[in-house]
Chain A
């Protein structure tokens, strides 16, 4: 099978073309640098199948960022059968700069002139034949988004010869120098000698590391600074010989569409309020149970009737019973207030899941199944998995809204707007994307930090990514938030959720500041970034993206979470002698004794020894969360049945409410009333789960991405950060005056760091001196 590599500028439509070629669901975003690792797919549309490698987007083949190194090593080192160089026709000049470098390798090149439809829409014209003659390689017009011209592109690509001799547009200007450098590489016996020769003349770090390279450069360049000359000549050649193919109708100075949009979105005054509003809307649309504020801002102001008030439903034994299925469907969108789309979808899925659970349990009871088996299926398996699955709609809604921001190009503007702020913390605005991606999932976010050029900035960013609460942690926020609301009689789950997200972001900011001033000190990395043109998000791409996320989540629910809930259920229903225990004997189980063992550790955090008899459930939930964060609520879902069975014995908990609902919030409410945990304790529990060691998969990714030896410190950092943050949340929530102690402590730490960094007084050194 032939192998072709896709290479091109970031944001030139490379990943869209990759999707169109391979039918894959790779992630596409309107942000320079979304693809950060190479991916493979197979094109099956032609006479023979062709393997396609999607390389990270690059502006040049200089080793400026890790992604450029990946692309360069692949192209020059592995020599694919050909390079499909995707060129954004709306931005010919800068895109062809990379092309001039690709042509210097010995690999066959074909140019895919993308976004031709946009060029024509603007009234401009590009003559592909002229371009083809000037470059000496095939040029094919395509539209990756609409799938036009792709067959022709691949047919011509496959028909290309196997061999091509590198050629350079710099031949006329630097003939002597190139010849001398080439002579050096002829002895070195490398592939694509012309490419290496020109990189050497550019004083490329990777080439200079070669033995004898410095002397060869001296012979060729004679001390002259060729770096500027080469870049300049490449652009001169492009302007002089290639851009003639483009006939422009519109004047450059005219206000382009993107520029007009930016007059508002990156406005000096309005940019920040608009950004804040956009963020608020995203959370409101996803989490609000009072979408239009028709019902006032709090429960007490409410005047709209609930379904029970309307007589359409009745409260029986604490559970809501609807008059008919129609009313049940109505409750999906309205019950005392109009819900947000995210909540509506969640409710709809929960109605569906409720009926499945009921159906399965009724069938099992009719079939005469044993008590333990209905318990295992109802509480253990369905209770656990559905408690998590029920949050899928909200996760997807949040994800969809963030994807739209990314695809339209607004995210890149946010980096532009916030860069100054980020610099205060020693990061560049570029670090914003991986952090925001962290709201979706830490794994792609961690991989995406490769777009950051500076190692120390990368390490600091990777460490705080888990603080940007990911989709899997969302159930913890909403379920615990919901329980807290039920406890306090509020209806502002979204405020708690939003507040917790903000706490995570603040924690990240503080930790970055701390690291950049102590262990990760270094200069603020440069910020030179393209602001891509705004465009409408591709509907198909958005859906593919969502489907990918949903698939991943469902798969996880039925594998890792399934296994964990079964194990949790078994251990909570078996004693050390492997005897089955009924639900109300939970406290004699293996799980209980293990939980009680670690329970005291969490005492300063508010969910340890002070919770008494059943307090160990919180400790167990936090530990199972290390496998996958969804497990935290799944564990509660599994154990809720047991707590309900104990109903009569403990803190006034309503048995029917817990059995009737599969909602995660009800499960947590059961835990709350069983243990008597305080509001501050719940908040501290959320904070702990948000900031502690992330799931196994995220840890493995962080380990792979971090420099050697940094991972163990990162683990320690996560443990320390979560312990400090959640004990602060707990103590301040419980005894408000402890706030002053925390403030004083942070002031002292800040003072010590400032004194040390200004060279006035170093505690560590002073300590060492005294010991000597």
Chain B
């Protein structure tokens, strides 16, 4: 099943299948290791519900839901 990273709940694992979006946000996501094929774990949401924290490529990354909505992930 494929869903957007922004719809993940804490503790869910997945494998990135596609990164949409454009320009700088997309470039930044790539540079931070958010590329197709990478596996990730959704860790938690911040106290106000946004941004979210994920573990990917052995480190912790935080991004907002608007940016996470650019990432399509296959749920594992």
CA distance A252 to B40 in the complex (A): 10
- Interface residue B44 (Cβ < 8 Å from any Cβ of A): yes
Taking a contact as CB atoms under 8 Å apart, the answer to whether A531 and B61 are in contact is yes
CA distance A93 to B64 in the complex (A): 23
- B62 contacts which chain A residues (CB < 8 A)? 416, 419, 527-531
**Complex: chain A residue closest to B47, CB-CB:** A271
Complex interface residues of chain A between 613 and 662 (CB less than 8 A to chain B): none
- Interface residue A266 (Cβ < 8 Å from any Cβ of B): yes
Taking a contact as CB atoms under 8 Å apart, the answer to whether B35 and A232 are in contact is yes
**Complex: chain B residue closest to A233, CB-CB:** B35
- Selected contact of A528 from candidates B38, B47, B48, B63, CB within 8 Å: B63
**Complex: chain A residue closest to B60, CB-CB:** A531
Taking a contact as CB atoms under 8 Å apart, the answer to whether B45 and A526 are in contact is no
- B59 contacts which chain A residues (CB < 8 A)? 91, 94, 530-531, 533
Complex interface residues of chain B between 22 and 39 (CB less than 8 A to chain A): 24-33, 35-38
Taking a contact as CB atoms under 8 Å apart, the answer to whether A429 and B28 are in contact is no
- Interface residue A71 (Cβ < 8 Å from any Cβ of B): no
Expressed in whole angstroms, the minimum distance between the Cβ of A255 and any Cβ of chain B is 11
Given contacts A236-B37, A528-B61, contact A94 B26 (CB under 8 A): no
Given contacts A91-B59, A227-B27, contact A530 B47 (CB under 8 A): no
Taking a contact as CB atoms under 8 Å apart, the answer to whether A93 and B33 are in contact is yes
Q: Which of A227, A416, A417 has the most CB of B within 10 A?
A: A416
Taking a contact as CB atoms under 8 Å apart, the answer to whether B33 and A526 are in contact is no
Given contacts A526-B28, A531-B61, contact A235 B35 (CB under 8 A): yes
Given contacts A232-B35, A232-B37, contact A93 B50 (CB under 8 A): no
- B25 contacts which chain A residues (CB < 8 A)? 526, 528
- Interface residue A228 (Cβ < 8 Å from any Cβ of B): yes
- Interface residue B67 (Cβ < 8 Å from any Cβ of A): yes
- B63 contacts which chain A residues (CB < 8 A)? 526-529
- Interface residue A453 (Cβ < 8 Å from any Cβ of B): yes
Given contacts A266-B46, A419-B50, A420-B48, contact A232 B36 (CB under 8 A): yes
Selected interface stretch from A56-64, A102-110, A511-519: A56-64
CA distance A262 to B25 in the complex (A): 26
- Selected contact of B24 from candidates A64, A92, A232, CB within 8 Å: A64
- Interface residue A231 (Cβ < 8 Å from any Cβ of B): yes
- Interface residue A279 (Cβ < 8 Å from any Cβ of B): no
Taking a contact as CB atoms under 8 Å apart, the answer to whether A416 and B46 are in contact is yes
- Selected contact of B60 from candidates A258, A268, A272, A528, CB within 8 Å: A258
CA distance A92 to B37 in the complex (A): 17
**Complex: chain A residue closest to B26, CB-CB:** A227
CA distance A268 to B46 in the complex (A): 6
- Interface residue A580 (Cβ < 8 Å from any Cβ of B): no
CA distance A532 to B60 in the complex (A): 7
- Interface residue A751 (Cβ < 8 Å from any Cβ of B): no
- B3 contacts which chain A residues (CB < 8 A)? none
- Interface residue A97 (Cβ < 8 Å from any Cβ of B): yes
- Interface residue A259 (Cβ < 8 Å from any Cβ of B): yes
Taking a contact as CB atoms under 8 Å apart, the answer to whether A62 and B31 are in contact is yes
Q: Which of B29, B45, B62 has the most CB of A within 10 A?
A: B62
**Complex: chain A residue closest to B43, CB-CB:** A259
**Complex: chain B residue closest to A232, CB-CB:** B35
Taking a contact as CB atoms under 8 Å apart, the answer to whether A62 and B19 are in contact is no
Taking a contact as CB atoms under 8 Å apart, the answer to whether A527 and B51 are in contact is yes
- Per-residue interface assignment for chain A, residues 250 to 268, with 1 indicating a CB less than 8 Å from any chain B CB and 0 otherwise: 0011000011001000111
- Interface residue B74 (Cβ < 8 Å from any Cβ of A): no
CA distance A530 to B59 in the complex (A): 8
CA distance A236 to B66 in the complex (A): 27
Expressed in whole angstroms, the minimum distance between the Cβ of A136 and any Cβ of chain B is 23
CA distance A267 to B43 in the complex (A): 11
CA distance A529 to B38 in the complex (A): 17
- Selected contact of A530 from candidates B26, B32, B45, B67, CB within 8 Å: B32
- Interface residue A269 (Cβ < 8 Å from any Cβ of B): yes
- A97 contacts which chain B residues (CB < 8 A)? 31, 33
CA distance A184 to B66 in the complex (A): 38
CA distance A93 to B52 in the complex (A): 21
- B42 contacts which chain A residues (CB < 8 A)? none
CA distance A269 to B47 in the complex (A): 6
Given contacts A94-B59, A529-B62, A530-B59, contact A228 B44 (CB under 8 A): no
CA distance A360 to B11 in the complex (A): 69
CA distance A453 to B24 in the complex (A): 10
**Complex: chain A residue closest to B52, CB-CB:** A416
Expressed in whole angstroms, the minimum distance between the Cβ of A32 and any Cβ of chain B is 10
- A704 contacts which chain B residues (CB < 8 A)? none
Taking a contact as CB atoms under 8 Å apart, the answer to whether B45 and A268 are in contact is yes
Taking a contact as CB atoms under 8 Å apart, the answer to whether A93 and B53 are in contact is no
CA distance A232 to B28 in the complex (A): 13
Expressed in whole angstroms, the minimum distance between the Cβ of B37 and any Cβ of chain A is 7
Taking a contact as CB atoms under 8 Å apart, the answer to whether B46 and A231 are in contact is no
**Complex: chain A residue closest to B29, CB-CB:** A528
Expressed in whole angstroms, the minimum distance between the Cβ of B74 and any Cβ of chain A is 15
**Complex: chain A residue closest to B57, CB-CB:** A93
Taking a contact as CB atoms under 8 Å apart, the answer to whether A228 and B36 are in contact is yes
Taking a contact as CB atoms under 8 Å apart, the answer to whether B58 and A231 are in contact is no
Given contacts A419-B51, A527-B64, A529-B62, contact A253 B41 (CB under 8 A): yes
CA distance A416 to B49 in the complex (A): 11
- B36 contacts which chain A residues (CB < 8 A)? 228, 232
- A232 contacts which chain B residues (CB < 8 A)? 35-37
- B27 contacts which chain A residues (CB < 8 A)? 62, 64, 202, 227
**Complex: chain B residue closest to A252, CB-CB:** B58
Taking a contact as CB atoms under 8 Å apart, the answer to whether B58 and A228 are in contact is no
- 26 intermolecular pairs with C-beta atoms under 8 Å apart: A92-B58, A93-B58, A94-B59, A97-B33, A202-B27, A227-B27, A232-B36, A259-B43, A259-B55, A266-B44, A269-B47, A420-B50, A420-B51, A421-B48, A429-B51, A526-B64, A526-B66, A527-B63, A527-B64, A528-B29, A528-B32, A528-B63, A530-B62, A531-B59, A533-B59, A533-B60
A residues near B (Cβ < 8 Å) are: 59-60, 62, 64, 90-94, 97, 202, 227-228, 231-232, 235-236, 252-253, 258-259, 262, 266-269, 271-272, 416-417, 419-421, 423, 429, 453, 526-533
Contacts A417-B46, A420-B50, A526-B28 aside, 4 further interface pairs with beta carbons under 8 A come to A91-B58, A202-B27, A228-B36, A235-B38
The 8 closest A-B pairs by CB, nearest first: A420-B48, A231-B30, A60-B31, A531-B60, A93-B57, A528-B63, A271-B47, A232-B35
